Amino acid sequence: MLAALVLVAPLSGCYLLQAAVGQGEVLARSEPVARLVADPVTPAPLRATLDLAVAAREFAVCELGLPDGRSFRSYADLGRPYAVWNVVAAPEFSVEPRQWCYPVAGCVAYRGYFDESRARAAARRLAGRGDDVTIGGVATYSTLGRLPDPLFNTMLGWRETRLVGTIFHELAHERLYVPGDSSFSEAFASVVEQRGVRQWLDARGRAAEFEVYRAGAAREAEFAALLRAARGRLQRLYASDAQATQLAADKQREFGRLKFEYGQLRARWGGYGGYDAWFARTLNNAHLASVATYHDCVPGLQRELEAAGSLTAFYARAEELAALSPVRRHAAVCASSAP
């Protein structure tokens, strides 16, 4: 996930102020990891997490070819459960999310807030004009190396593969990011993350543990495919000539179908309920749009990595794709994932 710190006009000055204040708080609360590890009063669980993060960061640089910049050299306790809250919005009869544009990240399908109350206020304003809206807490984010991104207290207590994978993911954003193409950029980072976790476990003689990690990734891929199928049906529905009242009724039926199909998928998983909370709420177009950002191009880029044979060759291929026009890039690696 990327932090939007500087905005392009004509966005609100209030939004710019909260972003600047929020990022300033992050920097003010950041402490060097090395100092915390050396301090005898640092709690043992925190020290263990920091030691793991140091090892993961070194592995990312030395073994995965990721940038050795300023990120994850510090730790910030924000005293809250999330670093930021993202607001995603989509029109009532569209699966295409609203876009907001920034000078570094380009146009992205969310607005990030360092304060939950401000995020909820923004969501209410968007809903008031008729949009479908969702809010999601985010545990960490990337400034693409422009600022020294810290480890956050929000990451404490994570299982090893999640913490290590997240570090790989965020550093991958610093390795390659295409402004205005969140789907490609997030997919690239996710593919690097998965390969990195595999190499991390292999290097520690724990290759068998990757099967557990891969099983979770496979469930996530099936979850994403379920949502892509629903998004495709809704996209066709919204493109029809039906009247608004009929569209609204059919829309609700499609979301009901989606929940039913999840129940079937859950049964095939042997009762695994890791996505129950996601489906427990009233779903709307914005929920589908937020998931699409992170999953649409993953299968295509995974195939590119397999064909490349190594991360080094994959990075070169990804850079070639990044140089293409958005249409050609998505036709090359995202078309088979599109609804």
Q: What is the pLDDT of residue 25?
A: 96
For the stretch 230-257, pLDDT in tens is: 999 999 999 999 999 999 999 999 999 9
Locate the domains of the chain by residue range: 13-158, 209-337
Q: What is the pLDDT of residue 10?
A: 39
Q: What is the pLDDT of residue 11?
A: 46
Q: What is the pLDDT of residue 12?
A: 53
Name beta bridge partners: 79. none
Q: What is the pLDDT of residue 5?
A: 43
Question: Which contacts qualify for 66-69: CB closer than 8 Å, 24 or more apart?
Answer: 66/168, 66/171, 66/172, 66/174, 66/175, 66/192, 67/145, 67/171, 67/174, 67/175, 69/145, 69/174
Q: What is the pLDDT of residue 101?
A: 84
Q: Within the chain, which residues score under 50 in pLDDT?
A: 4-11, 337-339
Backbone region of residue 71 per phi and psi (left: phi > 0; alpha: psi in -120 to 50; beta: other values): beta
Q: What is the pLDDT of residue 104?
A: 66
Q: What percent of the chain has pLDDT over 70?
A: 94
| Cis upstream peptide for 150 (omega within 30°) | no
The pTM of this model reads: 0.89
